[in-house]
Structure 1
Amino acid sequence: GLRIAHLIESDGPGGAERMLANVATRLQAAGAWNLAILPADGEGWLTRELVGTGVAIEYFRLDRPVSGKLARWLVATLRRHQITVAHSHEFTMAVYGSWAARRARMGHVITMHGSRYYAHRLRRRLALRLAVASSAWLVAVSQTLASHLSRDLWIRHSRIRTIPNGVALAAVERSSLRDELGLRPGHRLMLAVGNLYPVKGHGYLLDAFGILARRFPQLHLAIAGRGELESALRARAEELGVGCRFHLLGLRSDIANILAAADLFVQPSVSEGLPLALLEAMMVRRPIVASAVGEIPIALADGAAGLLVKPADPPALAAAVARLLTNVHEAEQLAEAAGRRAAAEYALPTMVERYAALYALV
């Protein structure tokens, strides 16, 4: 039977890690045998997600940027578990995994999730190009990323498969978040989900909130995520006079619960691939305002399933939010369109089926 190893260099609660957990656990439940190869010195989030699912786990240590010891350990581990297909995620494991799979004489698949870390140095681009050359397939999670990979690595577009991320999220009828935040009837809540890094654009969202605050005195902003900008965002909220209406929720696992509390969802990123949080908001039919970056315009059907705005533009972001807050009918129509599109294109079972079909071709 099919025995799949999933290799990843990080194990925090990011999109690549969540996608790995979803694919491995779904395929395990369907009868395939799955092994996750994770960093020994990571956060442990992915381990906690996989415990009790039947997915086996092995841990590696990367002692230096170029480690012969790790390469040899990977070959031995893949052979010991009699793996038939190795699936590596992102740059580092793509390079190590392709070499190990070739030495162990098995098929290899690479998925790139959006980070173009590899593109900034010629040496990395060459290393990834060699990894792709010795692999059966290179997968990109978006059409935009596929185009970047083709150009960056000097490879034909036909060598790249595009498999969008998939999500499975059941709508929650009543959220506990509004009580948690002390919101009263009549209060409106806009929500963003994403780690607090500059690329996610939360500073621009907060500035947009400052523009909206006087016109919409019942409006609150909540952001679920963690990261380096937490203190700066709190300080900026105080400067804008909205500190009492600005809520940092930290890392949350109850995404369906917090989405159910939101009157609208905002994705203010300045750079992006295909964010899972956006797909989850679509799946549970939230009105959406999002930056027109990466694969987001395609996901939102060029504005037919959510409003698109120029990135890093607080006035434009504020205007789009105000439009949905004041036009309930349009907001409902966009939310319904988003839900239909998510169910048709971005459902988790569809993503898993596409990967299973790809493994069968290796």
Structure 2
Amino acid sequence: MRILHIVGDSKFGGASVLILRLAQKAKEFGWHVDVLTTDATFKKVLRESDIGVIDLDVIWRDINPLKDLWGLYNLYNFLKNSNYTIVHTHTSKGGFVGRLAAYLAKVPIIIHTVHGFAFHEQSFWLEIKIFSFLEKLASHWCDRIVTVSEFHKKWALELGIGDEEKVIAIPNGITEERVIPKRQKSEIQKELNLEGKKVILFTGRLAPQKGLEYLLKAVPILVSKVNNSFVILVVGDGPLRDYLEELVRNLRIEQYVKFLGFRSDIGDLLNISDIVVLPSLWEGLSIALLEAMAAEKPIITTTIGSNLEVVKDGESALLVPPKNSQELAYAIIKLIENPDLAERLARRAKERYKKYYTEDSMLEKYMNLYFFLYNINRNGKLKIKKS
């Protein structure tokens, strides 16, 4: 079996890690796996893991009809002259262009994972209508659509994107080893000058969907309500970094916020944190949330659909409405002042992670899907070849 994951120019992030693990798991079965990506970080990680890289510049995040047609044609030619058994697409643009190219090239099996639709819970109705129409169209070019949460599966079916047979949910999962600390807690605290301070951790790409600005705007409220011995660690990078750093300066909260950029020692940073705050405006299913749960940390996050599903409507995290700095501040204060509540939420979060969101569970479901579609195609019971 030969598998190609199609990503395009999407930047390295949580979805990239899941694709890497899917590729590594498939290789354990002796299958050949390539990933089509142009992101430098992702290419480096793939090559270090001995996963094939297809450095074909044919899918771009921005919409440009003429350029996109050129990219579609080149991807179609590439797939037509390759012998992939499965094309597995990711991201909205990669999913649309990749599925159509694979369909035209008569690739035997086509799967698309929805890590998050091009529309979301903050989108205007017209935006949802336009993009859901495109998703409906693209659903005819693949054999299965995988959503990373039950919430997104239900939403897809409500919008007429696929049907009960075509759309399946395979929740994201991570390995617990991912969050095991590798250095002493005191060493990290000393390195970042955090001794004696409550550490509030945010991890994620510095992009609009993560809602970080609302956490930063909560800091002046925190300063007025609690003592000065806290700091917010911002771990990650992205297009909003300059804006967010300027916001910190304008709010005059520089002493309370540290931008650490991209870090690979997430286990160490979770180990030194007292509270994890993830103020997302929308998500597919947050890897950062799963990391905090696996690390048994008290969590504050937002009442978006996939978060409600993961933390079971607030049983294992404090929930606040999106875009609400005041409620974020009050939730942080509540956990600081109620360590027993924080400990209880953290324990429940770890229990839910172990029951529903392990990497082994996720990988097993994807491999079963590959085998199922491969065997049906091989036995000729499903006419996947397109004429």
Same-fold status (TM-score > 0.5): yes
Q: Does 1:49 align with 2:45?
A: yes
Shift of 1:210: 1.6
Give the alignment partner of residue 205 of structure 1, picking from 215, 221, 225: 215
Aligned residue for 2:12, secondary structure, equals coil
In the TM superposition, residue 358 of structure 1 has moved relative to its aligned partner by 0.9
Distance 2:254 2:133 in 1: 48
Structure 2: which 5+ residue stretches go unaligned?
121-125, 374-387
- Once the 2 structures are TM-superposed, how far is the Cα of residue 25 of structure 1 from its aligned partner? 1.8
Amino acid at match of 1:13: F
Amino acid at match of 1:254: D
Residues 84 and 107, structure 2, Cα contact 8 Å, conserved in 1: no
Give the aligned partner of residue 15 of structure 2.
16
Q: Which residue pairs with 1:3 in the alignment?
A: 2
CA contact (8 A) 1:287 1:306 kept: yes
Q: Is the 8 A contact 2:8 2:58 kept in 1?
A: no
Q: Secondary structure at the match of 2:23?
A: helix
Q: What residue identity is the alignment partner of 1:110?
A: H
Secondary structure of residue in 2 paired with 1:131? helix
Query: How high is the TM-score relative to the length of structure 1?
Result: 0.90
Aligned-partner SS, 2:217: helix
Residue in 1 that maps onto 2:112? 110
Residue-by-residue CA offset, 1:107-147 (whole Å, 9 max, x unaligned):
10011111325982766544432321131101111122223
The share of aligned pairs that are identical, in percent, is 27
For this pair of structures, how many residues does the alignment match?
A: 357
Question: Which residue does 1:136 correspond to in 2?
Answer: 143
* Candidates 168, 171, 176, aligned match of 2:180: 171
1:232-271 map, 5 Å = 232-271=243-282
Q: Which moved more, 1:230-239 or 1:200-209?
A: 230-239
Query: What residue identity is the alignment partner of 1:131?
Result: A
Return the alpha-carbon distance in structure 2 between the equivalents of residues 257 and 274 of structure 1.
23
Distance 1:77 1:302, change over 3 A: same
When normalised by structure 2's length, the TM-score is 0.85
2:5 counterpart SS class? strand
Q: CA RMSD in A?
A: 2.3
Q: Is it true that 1:145 corresponds to 2:146 in the alignment?
A: no
Preserved contact between residue 269 and residue 291 of structure 1 (Cα < 8 Å) = yes
Q: Which amino acid aligns with 2:65?
A: P
Q: Aligned match of 1:272 in 283, 286, 293?
A: 283
Q: Aligned equivalents of 2:73 and 2:247: distance in 1?
A: 49
**Which residue of 2 is the match for residue 35 of structure 1?**
34
- For residues 1-362 of structure 1, the aligned pairs below 5 Å read 2-39=1-38, 43-62=39-58, 65=65, 67-78=68-79, 80-102=81-103, 103-117=105-119, 120=127, 124-168=131-175, 169-172=178-181, 174-175=184-185, 176-184=187-195, 186-214=196-224, 215-362=226-373
Deviation (angstroms), 1:200 = 1.4
SS of 1:37 mapped into structure 2: strand
